[in-house]
Structure 1
């Protein structure tokens, strides 16, 4: 446990003033500069959202981007986000376009994971169709040499909890379909961390994301998650306990850090990355201390 963890700067952690939401998702910073800053700061994983990938490809190529990642020692890449992948209405054509582009990019870039989202509108979802669509998407991802990680969200209308995510991936049981487990989405609704080790088979735990938050939400849950996240270990979540619960589940992969806050977006890129890394490593040190004390 003394080996320093390998950390991934997920897409929003290096996105500058960009944030999730209509008209706000494209970073003003050059992707090449973001990759260089992350690598220089000791990060070995990197995340890219579809809008930024599309912006890069207006002038660059996937081959060039793969070279940039390799030149900077980035060993793990995560792409996001495919939404509405189970739908049959007017949302599906756009979802399919993003799906094709991200799967193509994943194959060319060697991306290990593509994140996919739940239903966040109030529209009804057919559970059987949702599960079958997840299975089909995971199978298609495997054909491109990657896999999909379902990210449950506590403000979703379908797929809103860790239990819902576990039920989905274990029911479908596709080796290329697993979960992205973000501490915010577990801790904010008050889910017991022990559920991770007790109910989520390690083979379906694809990615993990760390951050923190105040004791109570500020504004809506969506506003709280995109505007008010805190550095790991500086809020109300017991991040070291979460780390150890994830370890107990058998997770041995790279740890993502997803910083989404007005404060983080106001910082110079290098400073924001340094603060996030320092805070995260402090949480791992405390997690290790607790393991040693309990041995």
Structure 2
């Protein structure tokens, strides 16, 4: 088992500080956001310098999170998405990171299901092919407030693709709030399809309430509606022994000291998984 600090949890920080905090608070990995990484590179940083910092702090980049809106299908938009995929794969290669997260948002929700699936399947195959020569894998995150919010739906598309570098991330909030997946389904999964776990809490949108992650996820572990013990038990039942990352998407908690956020996040997670 590898514990990885999630860049979302320390949203108001930079890529260098995250490494020091991760090291000092007991993590061995960092799930980095492209926003933080690219900002570092655009302002005088380099991959070489960052690799030196990774070695100094004994931290691995476990995932780059994320290539978003993978359902873009209009020719120019799709071409742009594939260029983004190439850029993020190159970053993964430079940082010796094995996994990139990918996700569809609402760009396909207006289409019939068959059309959505055809586009997603084509794009997933194209993305997988970009990463394959470099040994890069992709974890699909199904997003609660979209039409593509069921874990089984993602697994079905992976099987149809025939690609062996596509898997999923088990994100407790998305799976709970989306309502299309149960812990029992996760417990029956092939562990080799699980590329990561996002440990988190929150609630679904109330009837008539707009979806807003900064509202529905503004909860520390144990404060929301997610049955965290059930999801933890489900993941462990598969035999999965990979990366666990506490994802604290919480504007209230983001105002704490960054070191305290990282420390509380890892301790909260350990209480449940141990």
Query: Is TM-score (shorter-chain normalized) higher than 0.5?
Result: yes
Instruction: Give the superposition deviation at 1:254.
Output: 1.4
- Decide whether the 8 Å contact of 1:10 with 1:78 is kept in 2: no
1:85 has 2:70 as partner:
yes
Aligned partner of residue 91 in structure 1, secondary structure = helix
Moved over 3 A (4+): 214-222, 224-229
Following the alignment from structure 1 to structure 2, what is the Cα–Cα distance between the partners of residues 218 and 111?
40
User: 5+ unaligned residues in a row in structure 1: which ranges?
Assistant: 17-28, 286-295
- Decide whether the 8 Å contact of 2:172 with 2:201 is kept in 1: yes
Aligned partner of 1:32 among 3, 6, 16: 16
Q: Number of aligned pairs?
A: 267
Following the alignment from structure 2 to structure 1, what is the Cα–Cα distance between the partners of residues 260 and 216?
18
Aligned partner of 2:8 among 6, 12, 15: 12
Aligned partner of 1:115 among 101, 121, 127: 101
* 1:119-151 alpha-carbon deviations (Å, 9 max, x no partner): 413442442232132122112212122111111
1:41 has 2:25 as partner:
yes
Who is 1:253 aligned against?
Answer: 242
Following the alignment from structure 2 to structure 1, what is the Cα–Cα distance between the partners of residues 209 and 82?
30
- Decide whether the 8 Å contact of 1:161 with 1:185 is kept in 2: no
- Decide whether the 8 Å contact of 2:229 with 2:272 is kept in 1: yes
Who is 2:86 aligned against?
Answer: 100
Following the alignment from structure 2 to structure 1, what is the Cα–Cα distance between the partners of residues 241 and 211?
30
Aligned partner of residue 4 in structure 2, secondary structure = strand
Following the alignment from structure 1 to structure 2, what is the Cα–Cα distance between the partners of residues 44 and 249?
23
Aligned partner of residue 153 in structure 2, secondary structure = helix
Following the alignment from structure 1 to structure 2, what is the Cα–Cα distance between the partners of residues 275 and 218?
32
Who is 2:221 aligned against?
Answer: 232
Aligned partner of residue 212 in structure 2, secondary structure = helix
CA distance 1:7–1:62, shift in 2 (3 Å): same
Who is 1:21 aligned against?
Answer: none
* 1:53-97 alpha-carbon deviations (Å, 9 max, x no partner): 211111111121122112111134210221233433242343233
CA distance 1:114–1:171, shift in 2 (3 Å): same
TM-score w.r.t. the length of structure 2 is: 0.88
Who is 1:26 aligned against?
Answer: none
Following the alignment from structure 2 to structure 1, what is the Cα–Cα distance between the partners of residues 231 and 39?
35
Who is 1:155 aligned against?
Answer: 145
CA distance 1:119–1:214, shift in 2 (3 Å): closer
Following the alignment from structure 1 to structure 2, what is the Cα–Cα distance between the partners of residues 119 and 151?
10
Following the alignment from structure 2 to structure 1, what is the Cα–Cα distance between the partners of residues 207 and 98?
34
Tell me the C-alpha RMSD between the 2 structures.
Answer: 2.2
- Decide whether the 8 Å contact of 1:264 with 1:272 is kept in 2: yes
